[in-house]
Copies of this chain bind each other. A is one copy, B any other.
Amino acid sequence: MATTTAGQKRAEAKREYDAYIAACPSRQLLDTVADKWVTLVLTALADTPLRYSELSRRIAGVSQKMLTQTLRTLERDGLVDRAVTATVPVRVDYTLTPLGESLVTVMAGVKTWAEAHMPEVQRARRRYDRR
């Protein structure tokens, strides 16, 4: 039959919403910035350019796969610059682009809000959990 179930309707609505959300610029920014390794790599590079091995040491818990994957997306998004020196063995340096630096600035703003208001959030949590 051509009956449309509630589940089907919601599934369809979900697809539309997902598309709508995926198109939202701030959504895209949040998706990248909220990544654990992204923030760590960006803040690590905020101080100074680093080589691949230096990054993997500095961000001690990261696996090769995730570090590489993270660096690739950051490079693709124009946030970091990848410079290969064709010596033996190879040497690869990662630098923050101007765009990447401006992103780090925004993240600092988020940090500021968080430091200002997280204590309040934590009080709210304790209050909630104690009921």
Q: How many copies does the complex hold?
A: 2
Give the distance to chain B from A2, nearest Cβ to Cβ, in Å: 21
Which applies to chain A's interface (DSSP): helix, strand, loop or mixed?
helix
A29 touches B75 (CB 8 A): no
B36 touches A123 (CB 8 A): no
Cα distance A123–B39 when bound, in Å? Answer: 22
Which of B30, B111, B113 meets A39, CB within 8 Å? B30
Give 1 or 0 for each of A65-106: 1 = CB within 8 Å of chain B CB: 000000000011111000000000000000000010011001
Give 1 or 0 for each of A23-58: 1 = CB within 8 Å of chain B CB: 001111111011010011000000000000000000
Q: Contacts A29-B114, A61-B14 given; indicate if A99 touches B76 (C-beta within 8 A).
A: no
Q: Contacts A34-B30, A60-B16 given; indicate if A78 touches B25 (C-beta within 8 A).
A: no
A106 touches B102 (CB 8 A): no
Cα distance A107–B26 when bound, in Å? Answer: 8
Give 1 or 0 for each of A104-119: 1 = CB within 8 Å of chain B CB: 0011011101110110
